[in-house]
Amino acid sequence: MAKNWSRILRSWMTNKMELPQDVMMDLPRITMIGQIHIYIENHRGLLTFSDREVRLLLKQGQLLIKGQSFVIKTILPEEILLEGKIDEVIYLNEKE
């Protein structure tokens, strides 16, 4: 019950204070440039990395990126810049 009130309060504050939803709701911000660059902010850590797949932990669930020739250009505690040919970006719920 407290989780629902917390979510409602954050949503209300976001709307009233005109704050970005990704900041208030603790959501990832994903910026893609074509199929060659993807920049993800507000993730919780790198779970797996290969030249064909990257999996990031989010506050709720995971983000799976599939493609080819992946190279990590920048990695910080809550940000990552990935380069390569991006074929899919998939959000995985906690239950999956």
pLDDT 10s per residue in the chain (96 long)? 566 777 677 666 666 666 555 555 578 999 999 999 999 999 999 999 999 999 999 988 999 999 999 999 999 999 999 999 999 999 998 754
Q: Return the pLDDT at 57.
A: 95
What residue has token string 């250009």? 73
CATH for 26-92, options being 2.60.40.2000, 3.50.50.60, 3.30.420.40, 3.40.1030.10: 2.60.40.2000
Who's near 63: CB < 8 A, 6+ residues apart? 28, 30, 40, 43, 55, 56, 89, 90, 91, 92
Q: Return the pLDDT at 8.
A: 74
CA 14, CA 68: separation in Å to the nearest integer? 37
Q: Return the pLDDT at 26.
A: 74
Q: Return the pLDDT at 60.
A: 87
